[in-house]
A and B are shown apart, each in its own frame.
Chain A
């Protein structure tokens, strides 16, 4: 265990009753004040991991430490960990004020301090005027903010968010994303953010943990996982759409057949068009405003290329020269 980690998961193995393990041998450390995303497709174990940290699921094996304390078997209500659910999970029978006040009442906070802290939390999320409304009288975005205020008003040691934006429409999602980042900075709170949306993870996180089938596939800063994927899975998740087995492509583009690597990949923007030693026939041309996306058919597989709209002179059925620059390739394992 790394002593500097605020939250530390050691060899965590999680399973639902009698089932096979959903998460196996997970190691993860989160520093204080850090915002870390757990990113992965549904079924990768990210929500299950979060439930174990919250204390809603007892691990089959392994430990959870928070601020140096072993909390593996501490009940959820004694952990001081805030939770925001995908479904918001507001209490339907309580007003906005009482929803936010719930955790403080459980902590027997005095009347004046309670009112002060609840209203301050509601102001932070911009809902001070909605204190008396019931959840059913709020919009999705407002409910989301109440859920957030309810979670951070207790000054949790850690805030866990499970796909908090996935039930909002696209515009609101972008707004709330910025809002979340602002609140996290303002409160200096340590956050673990579960999502399947790589755009969200890239925009929000200090660090991204990409999970697959209950294991960590890769972790790093958004720049690292975006620019330097280590496996095919991460590459595809981060938009490295041109993925080929190394033995097929190495000779074609002049890559050294390095030991240990199995695949090579290029982002669609990295494909050079109009010149080069490779030839492809245009299968599809998709106009995207600023750019045009081409789907090319080549001897070693299909190639996706994004071309600035001024240079996008080819049409479906035409053949063009292109190149996959060796220096822009990501070499991948597995």
Chain B
């Protein structure tokens, strides 16, 4: 059975690479030591307590939350009609639009961040919060368009024509027939967009400024000056938060088939 052992070893390695770092972070979070070390020599919950007392984390967590929620909503609000138009109408230059819309997925986020910085801070005279919101929305829009497009592709045009012939106008057809049938895709796009915004570092790095910062940026800054397990504890909380969030939406809406 020599040949059957190889895939199992590879699978083990893959899991080790994927899950290993999380295990290290997870265990370190419960450390009783003063500095980040692995394995810890003693255990405690003190770093979880400390996370909650760091003011920069509290404020930036709130920023990240509203930023994530608002930019996701904005991206969906724009992305759904865009995806619908691309799927249903013969839009002139549809291919160009598609390439432009997906470019933030291909370009390095640092470049996008710099471009957005120039756009919002150097040219316009906008507030930091506004710049962040627009920057994140622009970043999330491609995710929204792509995922919603995928679920629209599975919806037959005849169904809309049927609604139309039964007396529904375009708007009624969209809200009563199209939207209920792409609900799962929209939810999946929303979850994906929110997580992307919440974890975003490169774009936020350029667009944050005095008084306004997101949680990942604050974590980076904190790590530059303090080398204690607080970050591990915070990371553990964030991982649990993400898992819970995804499980909940999967349970409620069954999104996994769209992503």
Do A and B pair up? The answer is yes
Does B168 count as interface, using CB distance less than 8 angstroms?
Answer: yes
Q: A108 → chain B, closest Cβ, in Å? A: 10
The segment from A1-9, A79-87, A217-225 found at the interface with B is: A79-87
* B161 A91 Cβ-Cβ under 8 A: no
* A106 B165 Cβ-Cβ under 8 A: no
Asked, given contacts A17-B90, A87-B156, A92-B181, whether A77 binds B161 with beta carbons under 8 Å apart, the answer is no
CB-contacts of A13-71 with B (<8 A):
17, 54-56
* B165 A91 Cβ-Cβ under 8 A: no
A150 CA to B161 CA, complexed, in Å = 13
Q: B181 → chain A, closest Cβ, in Å? A: 6
**Which residue in chain A gives the minimum CB-CB distance to B159?**
A89
Residues from chain B with a CB closer than 8 A to the CB of A82 are: 165
* B166 A106 Cβ-Cβ under 8 A: yes
* B162 A83 Cβ-Cβ under 8 A: yes
Q: For B90, B158, B164, B166, which residue has the most chain A Cβ atoms within 10 angstroms?
A: B166
Residues from chain B with a CB closer than 8 A to the CB of A83 are: 161-162, 165
Does B226 count as interface, using CB distance less than 8 angstroms?
Answer: no
**Which residue in chain B gives the minimum CB-CB distance to A101?**
B166
Q: For B161, B162, B177, which residue has the most chain A Cβ atoms within 10 angstroms?
A: B162
**Contact-size category for A:** 20 to 34
Does A93 count as interface, using CB distance less than 8 angstroms?
Answer: yes
Asked, given contacts A75-B169, A77-B169, A106-B167, whether A89 binds B162 with beta carbons under 8 Å apart, the answer is yes
How many residues of chain B have a CB within 8 Å of chain A?
18
CB-contacts of A105-125 with B (<8 A):
106-107
* A56 B166 Cβ-Cβ under 8 A: no
Contact of B158 among A75, A81, A85, A103 (CB under 8 A): A85
A277 CA to B162 CA, complexed, in Å = 59
Residues from chain B with a CB closer than 8 A to the CB of A103 are: 166-167
* A54 B165 Cβ-Cβ under 8 A: yes
Does A226 count as interface, using CB distance less than 8 angstroms?
Answer: no
Asked, given contacts A92-B181, A93-B181, whether A107 binds B167 with beta carbons under 8 Å apart, the answer is yes
Does B35 count as interface, using CB distance less than 8 angstroms?
Answer: no
A85 CA to B167 CA, complexed, in Å = 16
Does A102 count as interface, using CB distance less than 8 angstroms?
Answer: yes
A102 CA to B173 CA, complexed, in Å = 11
Does A76 count as interface, using CB distance less than 8 angstroms?
Answer: yes
Does B180 count as interface, using CB distance less than 8 angstroms?
Answer: yes
Residues from chain B with a CB closer than 8 A to the CB of A154 are: 166-167
A76 CA to B164 CA, complexed, in Å = 6
| Chain B 81-99 interface mask (CB, 8 Å, partner A; 1/0) | 0000000001000000000
Residues from chain B with a CB closer than 8 A to the CB of A87 are: 156, 158
* B90 A76 Cβ-Cβ under 8 A: no
Does B51 count as interface, using CB distance less than 8 angstroms?
Answer: no
Q: A190 → chain B, closest Cβ, in Å? A: 15
Contact of A76 among B158, B165, B172, B181 (CB under 8 A): B165
The 7 nearest A-B residue pairs measured at CB: A106-B167, A103-B166, A89-B158, A89-B162, A83-B165, A93-B180, A76-B164
Q: What 19 additional pairs, Cβ within 8 angstroms, besides A85-B161, A89-B158?
A: A54-B165, A56-B165, A75-B164, A76-B161, A76-B164, A77-B168, A79-B165, A81-B165, A83-B162, A85-B162, A89-B162, A90-B159, A91-B181, A93-B180, A102-B168, A106-B168, A107-B167, A150-B162, A151-B166
